[in-house]
Every structure is written in C-alpha cells, then in structure tokens.
Amino acid sequence: MRVGTAAAVLAAAVLLLTGCSDVHLPAVEEVAGDFAAGDPAVRCQLLTRAAVESLEHEEPAGCATALQDLQLGTGGVESAQVWGTEAQVRLTDDTLFLTATTDGWRVAAAGCAHSDEDRYDCLVEGS
C-alpha cells in the first residue's frame, strides 16, 4: 500500500512540476525569439545583468558594441525546455540559456555550442 501511495505522490509531483514549466514556455520562447531577431541594443536589454556586466568588462565601449562582433544566432526557435527558473532554447543556429528574473525571463548565455556530454561553451555568459 505504501509503495502505491508513494508512486501516486511522485506522479502528482512530476505532473505539477511539468505543468508549471509548460506555463512559462510561451514567455521563454518569446524572449528567445526577440533576442534572435534583435539588433545589439535590443539583445542587451534581454540579457541578464551578469551577462551585460561580463560583456562590458571585455568591451569598455559597452554591451551593444561587444555584441556587434559576436556571431550569435538569428534563427527561429526549434525547441525549449524549462526547469523551474532556468530554461534552454535551441534556435536553428544557436543555443540560449535563460533565467527568470524580477524583470521577467532574460538570456543568461548565448552563442552556446555543445562541447561534450554535460557542457556548453558560450560566447556570452554571466555567472
């Protein structure tokens, strides 16, 4: 009896967490699409504060200037996954990582390429 109850509780928790993640998919996909379609100034507005600070540390002229020199994706959204306050969006030509902030979903890393089983190397990222 306890095994059945535990399984039911686990199944309910999985459904609840999956349902919550699905609620955020449209917002995550919208931010990713806007980032991909945006010019450097728009992209800077959609980055997390840490990502902007990282870019500005490397390029004193500012975030937009730093982004102009990077080959970031401009393709459409192929897929998105949300895990609580973190998300991954695969564009046709890039992978983005987003995080939920007090200002809404923001891009924490962009220009990401899969380098091995559990790691991505990103052109833009903030810790």
d(CA 42, CA 59): 17
Q: Give the side-chain half-sphere CA count within 13 A for 33.
A: 11
pLDDT surpasses 50 at 2 = no
Q: What is the mean pLDDT of residues 89-118?
A: 95
- What residues are paired with 104 via a beta bridge? 101
Fold of 25-125: Nuclear Transport Factor 2; Chain: A, (3.10.450)
**What integer pLDDT is reported at residue 3 of this predicted model?**
44
Q: pLDDT tier at 7 (50, 70, 90 boundaries)?
A: very low
Percent above pLDDT 70 for the chain: 83
Task: For residue 38, give both structure tokens.
Answer: 């945006």
pLDDT digits (tens, 9 = 90+) for 11-34: 444 444 444 568 899 999 999 999
Q: pLDDT tier at 117 (50, 70, 90 boundaries)?
A: confident
* Domain range list for the chain: 25-125
